[in-house]
Structure 1
Amino acid sequence: MSTLNSKSNRYLLTIIVITSFFIALIFYILIKTNHSDNLLNNLENSLSTTKNLFEEQKRYALSLSILLSQDKEILNSYLHKNREESFAIVNQKIEALKQLQNSNFEVQIHNQDLTTYLRSWDLSKKGIALASFRQGLVKVKEEKKPLVSIELGKRLNIKAISPLLQNGVFIGSIETIIDFEHLSKELEQKGYTLFVLLNQKYLNIATRLQNNPKYLEYVLVNKADFKNFENIPLKELKEYGYVSNTNYSFSYFSYYDLNNNPLGYIFTGIKNAKHIKINNAYEDEQNTQHLHKVTIE
């Protein structure tokens, strides 16, 4: 009788051990799945937030450009080709708008032939031919309509260009230039880190970025810690998606020039505390078209 009880106890103990193992395994899988779902939700939120703030910055740059293109003081000084006066007026307007709206931007005015008339940060620069590498300027001259985009120059910025018109005739243009630092700070307040990547093949144009940190075929445009990109498979990226390494997870989307040529990617990073591996990539041409250039009819 005792032998039978002993066998029954062993069987019962075995069943309990096996059942406990599978219950623990199920719980582990559920917890892992829950962590993955939470990470994916957070990445989706970061992607949406970055896109929205990015579009907001473009709209702001465009509104500034349109406002300055209609400023009578700026127009009068430009018509009289008084560069010193234009420089003083433009910088006065910039400082006033900075105080009112806590913004940081630069202004460049272009002559009718798309050469440099004035740069708000450097009075000495003038007469520089821009048409060969500034697609936006050519488009604004041709269509006489405002335009905003991420455009390559010696730097990579958000550039909003508005035509200067006299009796409907194109006489020049004015652009507002916003870098990515304000966007970086806004995302940082939400717990995210911004990384703007440009393909290195464009460094022959973006000469001011030649000494910036590089990873694979990309160069980092804004100020951020590039070491967080270790082991990120940049060559496997598509239009947008989510990717991670051991310590960081990222949402990303691509951006394009005005001829729809891919320039690089905008990443938003969050800490990957649970070391979850993720690599989801998606194609979405309509999304791409909408995101990266805006014109005003």
Structure 2
Amino acid sequence: MSKTYKNFILLFILVVITLLYFLNKYNNIIHKNQIDILVSNRVEMVQNELTNQKNQALSLAILFSKNQNIINNLEQNNPKELKKELLKLLDNIKTYTNQNNIQVQIHTKDLKVFVRSWEDKDVGLNLESFRKGLVKVKETKEPFVSNELGKRFNIKAISPIFNKNDEYIGTIEVIMDYSDLKNRLKYMGIEIIPLLEKKYLQIAEYYKDNITLADYVVIQQEYDKKLYDFLLQHKEYLSNENFYYENKNRIITQIPLGNIDNQSVGVMVICFDKNEQNFNYLPKYEYLGDINTKSNFKNIEEKDRKEIIIK
């Protein structure tokens, strides 16, 4: 074999290797861009659903604040009748929407607990020292919603209450946890676990006995056990050093959960299958009635017969 031919073969091999190298590099770039877009879309979906839940809570708070029975019972210092009214409203919501994660709290104008829909303790407790959202609404006299830290960390929508003379007499607060959000996202192929930083347990004492995960505490009683065990084995995925992490077909990312000062006090871990086609969110139509085909065919035949006679 001549030297020229050998050089040609070596050059050809070198060119092929170089092309394969750049092709592989190009494919990796394309793959990363596709995953980046996918993760951005999923994060946006979660944020939109979270915003929708906040808007729902705020709408209820504003609507309840206009309820004349609530206004009268607060102004007349009648907590028993006021609680009956709240429980009736919540029972209607539960009946017609199957939504069970709503709680309501009424405060006096000096931000003391007046009525709670879920318990009767802490009546008269002054919340001004650690509930910044309530202070904000008292000062601005305008509705407000946020992920707020208190004895619990959840969605809190607050609206001022005015009497018929347009005088400020207190506030109403609609509280939602993340269970309904979790269920909706699950239909979209997305699993979430909301976490609160352990250092805030001195305020959020409601979670002091909850299960922990690295430097966080799980704030939902019902959570995905498989995802929890997975994160327990891969605690590095709780870091926000990277936009997202890949593990086989799984993508793990997170969004911050902040309080009224836009300071992150927790995170919502997001997990989904990167290969799953996400059509789960499409509505499912199901007809549960009886279809009388014989009657339908008979009507069609009679209609055709009449048309023939007319012609």
Task: Classify the TM-score, shorter chain.
Answer: 0.7 to 0.9
Identity of aligned residues (%): 30
Instruction: Count residues with an aligned counterpart.
Output: 266
1:107 and 1:78 mapped to 2: Cα distance? 14
Please tell me whether the aligned partners of residues 108 and 116 of structure 1 are also in contact (alpha carbons under 8 angstroms): yes
2:46 and 2:240 mapped to 1: Cα distance? 21
Q: Secondary structure at the match of 1:263?
A: strand
Please tell me whether the aligned partners of residues 238 and 269 of structure 2 are also in contact (alpha carbons under 8 angstroms): no
1:76 and 1:83 mapped to 2: Cα distance? 10
Please tell me whether the aligned partners of residues 39 and 244 of structure 2 are also in contact (alpha carbons under 8 angstroms): no
Q: Say whether 1:148 aligns with 2:148.
A: no
1:136 and 1:113 mapped to 2: Cα distance? 13
The 5 Å alignment of 1:145-224 reads 145-166=142-163, 167-222=165-220, 223-224=223-224
Structure 1 15/35 Cα, relative in aligned 2: closer, same or farther at 3 Å? same
Q: Which amino acid aligns with 2:257?
A: Y
Q: Which amino acid aligns with 1:242?
A: F
The equivalent of 1:254 in structure 2 is 256
2:262 and 2:186 mapped to 1: Cα distance? 29
The equivalent of 1:35 in structure 2 is 31
Task: Point out the structure with the larger strand share.
Answer: 1
Please state how far the C-alpha of 1:15 moved relative to its aligned partner.
Answer: 5.0
Q: Secondary structure at the match of 1:145?
A: coil
Please tell me whether the aligned partners of residues 140 and 146 of structure 1 are also in contact (alpha carbons under 8 angstroms): yes
Deviation larger for 76-85 or 138-147: 76-85
Please state how far the C-alpha of 1:173 moved relative to its aligned partner.
Answer: 1.2
Please state how far the C-alpha of 1:103 moved relative to its aligned partner.
Answer: 3.1
Please state how far the C-alpha of 1:192 moved relative to its aligned partner.
Answer: 1.4
Q: Which amino acid aligns with 2:170?
A: G
2:146 and 2:59 mapped to 1: Cα distance? 13
Please state how far the C-alpha of 1:157 moved relative to its aligned partner.
Answer: 0.8
1:8 and 1:103 mapped to 2: Cα distance? 80
Residue of 255, 263, 267 corresponding to 2:269: 267
The equivalent of 1:46 in structure 2 is 42
2:117 and 2:151 mapped to 1: Cα distance? 16
After TM superposition, the score normalised by the length of structure 2 is: 0.75
1:133 and 1:188 mapped to 2: Cα distance? 33
Please tell me whether the aligned partners of residues 207 and 217 of structure 2 are also in contact (alpha carbons under 8 angstroms): yes
The equivalent of 2:124 in structure 1 is 127
Please state how far the C-alpha of 1:101 moved relative to its aligned partner.
Answer: 3.8
State which structure, 1 or 2, has the greater radius of gyration over its C-alpha atoms: 2
Cα offsets for 1:243-296 (capped at 9, x unmatched): 2153543343323322333312233222367xxxxxxxxxxxxxxxxxxxxxxx
The equivalent of 1:289 in structure 2 is none
More relative contact order in 1 or in 2 (CA 8 Å, sep 6+)? 1
Q: Which amino acid aligns with 1:253?
A: I
Please tell me whether the aligned partners of residues 237 and 245 of structure 2 are also in contact (alpha carbons under 8 angstroms): no
Please tell me whether the aligned partners of residues 65 and 161 of structure 1 are also in contact (alpha carbons under 8 angstroms): yes
